Amino acid sequence: MKKSSVIFILSLFFGLLSAQPPAGYYNGATGTGAQLKTQLSIIITNGHSDMGYGGLWTGYLTTDRDYFYENDGTILDIYSENVAGPDPYTFTPITDQCGNYSSEGDCYNREHIVPQSLFNEASPMKNDIHFVRATDGKVNGMRSNFPFGMVGSATFTSLNGSKLGTSVSPGFSGTVFEPIDAFKGDVARMIFYFVTRYENQLSSFSSGDMLGGSAYPGLQSWQLQQLLLWHAQDPVSQVEIAINNASYTFQGNRNPFIDNPQWVNTIWGTSDIIAPSAPAGLTAGTPTSSSVPLNWTASTDNIAVVAYDIYVNGVYHSTVSGTSATVSGLAPATAYTFHVIAKDLAGNLSPASNTVTATTSAGTPGGSCGTETFDGMPANNSGYAVRTWTSNNITWTATDARTDQTINGRAVTIRNGSLTSSTVTGGIKSITVTTQLKFGANAGTFNLRVNGNIVGTIPYSGTPDTSVTTTVDNLNISGNAVISITDNSITGNRVAFDDLSWTCYTLSTGETSTVPNLSLYPNPVVNDEIFVKGTDLKKVLKADIYSADGRLVQSVAKPFVKSDSIKLTNLKSGVYFLTVDGKSIQFIVK
């Protein structure tokens, strides 16, 4: 580019920093709420010239340039800009347009802050520079068409800290994309622009878990609350003002929420800052050896309560949407305290509920713990792929699997893949499952695993359509567990599985003991030695130590004849149970 052209563009850009809306541009914007939104929609629709999709590349020469951070005229990309230091990479305008990309920093392309798939790639939406920004191609691709929100567990993080992952935005639990703090308000005001400029078309757009289906409010409730919060946390910057002015020069209309940010609250209200009331009347039902049922009265809120956080012994345990829950995975014969906190759509937390205490019962092996009939699988399909479904609060994943075969009703058929549960509670004593060879000619086996360890084999007959039911017993694994069936011994055989069930198991902890007031110290254990207190310890014939997964790791005969302590043998850090005369006590080895 010639030097004179560079000077011209720089002069134009810096002149735009001080530009203002033309006199009378917002005449007629006098209402509130939905009325003001419609008034603004008319204003910013008038004068809007569609410059075409290719025209965006030209527009970016004045709209998306970095004269604020590095101040070097490179592309200002919200997905790579490091506002506190050097950028991880930069893009030269025109030269670094995408193109192909495989990694961050390869090239920049056109990122639709509101995904173009939601409006079927139609114009003028597809070409609107007010919400189509120049961004890194790789990060743009990772963001895909997911809505914006707060990420809890990230599956991808860009080099400037933008994240993709599971939502922790109240009211939405799917996948979201979270920009860095410096650009959260920018994103919010771009989306507010979109749902205002195109309010008359919203009813024909897809929601994408973000857009509403009507002109007002134009956004789903959870998304609106999140964007209102970002708008408040990240006010309009000089960067946005310059981009708005340049976009007006290029396209002929403006983003009113950059010119007049107060209109966001005039139309949609302020972000919710009122916390819900405390959940009331928390009670505990009859405990089992590993769980306690809880019930409480619903909280109230000025907008909506969306969830309740459950705390066990003062530590966060889980989140539920209703007013009851069963807290599982607890140790037998142990006292626990519980309280509940409500949260609303904006993430405001209520005061804590009342606290209740419950003691789990003494457990014994056996008893039905869970079943899977495979009736809740995805629809019948003869192709082999990953199949995922949830039943009885357990999520199952079958790989290289088809869903169109039957044994006793629907059955999942595995070729060279596996069947795996999410975490189940209550321990496992035995596992039973029925197999049937559907396609193939030879008998074989699968491995049965619990928590990744092989605990037995599951055979199948070499005669097609002949059922074999197998029980693997005496597993005696307490606590949480993951069940999986893996490793087909004959590659290519297609084997159906049905009627999977398991019995539960907890460490035996009899209700009474001949050793009154039994206790141990210190806890956590130090120097590999447990000291035990209790009456008539010398009468104890045996002490057993179990790991948290139910394995017997140490046994001592007549442990207290000469002392009141037990020397531990090569125990790694973790949770263990000391069982003395039928009573179990939990301890920790650091």
Q: How confident is the model at residue 128 (pLDDT cuts 50, 70, 90)?
A: very high
Report whether pLDDT(88) > 80. yes
Residue range 492-519: mean pLDDT, rounded: 72
468/368 Cα distance (integer angstroms): 21
Give the end-to-end CA distance of the chain in Å, rounded to a whole number: 66
187/412 Cα distance (integer angstroms): 44
Paired strand residues for 449:
454, 484
Report whether pLDDT(321) > 90. no
Say what the pLDDT of residue 3 is: 35
Say what the pLDDT of residue 542 is: 82
The DSSP symbol for 130 reads T
| pTM, two decimal places | 0.54
Q: Return the C-alpha torsion angle 176, 179, 181, 183, nearest 10.
A: -130
**Residues sharing a CB contact under 8 Å with residue 260, sequence separation 6 or more, in sequence order:** 26
Q: Which domains does the chain have, with CATH numbers?
A: 33-152+170-268 (no CATH), 280-359 (2.60.40.10), 368-503 (2.60.120.260), 519-589 (2.60.40.10)
Report whether pLDDT(216) > 90. yes
560/92 Cα distance (integer angstroms): 78
pLDDT tens-digit readout, 297-310: 999 988 778 889 99
pLDDT tens-digit readout, 96-105: 999 889 999 9
Q: In what order do the strands lie in the sheet with 292-297?
A: 280-284, 292-297, 324-327
Q: How confident is the model at residue 168 (pLDDT cuts 50, 70, 90)?
A: confident
Say what the pLDDT of residue 1 is: 31
Instruction: Answer for the pair 378, 403: CB distance below 8 angstroms, yes or no.
Output: yes
Report whether pLDDT(16) > 60. no
pLDDT tens-digit readout, 375-427: 889 999 999 999 999 887 789 999 999 999 999 889 999 999 999 999 888 78
CA angle at residue 37 from 36 to 41, to 5 degrees? 115
Better-predicted residue by pLDDT, 52 or 286: 52
Give the pair of three-digit tokens for residue 558: 């007549």
pLDDT tens-digit readout, 219-252: 999 999 999 999 998 999 999 999 999 999 999 9
In DSSP notation, 443-481 reads: -EEEEEEETTEEEEEEEE-SSTT-EEEEEE----B-S-B
542: region left, alpha or beta (phi > 0 left; psi from -120 to 50 alpha):
beta
The residue assigned the tokens 């539960």 is 504
